[in-house]
């Protein structure tokens, strides 16, 4: 499955490169079609769970040495702070 996805991405890349040089309406429609195809392909090959995302956010936040901004509650160097739900999700994964 993953090999097929990489081959499809490679094919899409070459199509996009040839279409992006042409600014005609037909080429623009072709690029839009490739964007939709890309989204579908990524949806079928995504193998991460919501818990994986929660774990990544928690690890990034709690291992960051940046100072915490009191207004935004974010640390310097991270763009997302874990929510209570994320913390619960990660904690329950380890139980």
Q: Is the pTM of this model over 0.85?
A: no
Q: Which residues of the chain have pLDDT under 50?
A: none
**Rounded distance between C-alpha atoms, residue 86 and residue 15, angstroms:** 39
Domain ranges of the chain: 2-45, 50-93
Q: According to the model, what pLDDT value does residue 78 have?
A: 85
pLDDT at 46: 63
- Can you tell me the distance from the alpha carbon of 84 to that of 48, in angstroms, rounded to the nearest whole number? 20
Which residues, 6+ apart, have CB-to-CB distance to 78 below 8 Å? 60, 61, 64, 66
């Amino acid at each position: 499955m993953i090999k097929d996805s990489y081959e499809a991405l490679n094919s899409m890349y070459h199509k996009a490169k040839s279409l992006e040089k042409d600014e005609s309406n037909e080429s623009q429609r072709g690029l839009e079609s490739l964007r939709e195809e890309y989204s579908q392909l990524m949806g079928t090959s995504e193998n991460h769970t919501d818990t994986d995302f929660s774990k990544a956010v928690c690890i990034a936040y709690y291992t960051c040495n940046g100072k915490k901004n009191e207004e935004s509650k974010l640390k310097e160097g991270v763009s997302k702070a874990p929510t209570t739900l994320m913390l619960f999700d990660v904690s329950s994964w380890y139980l």
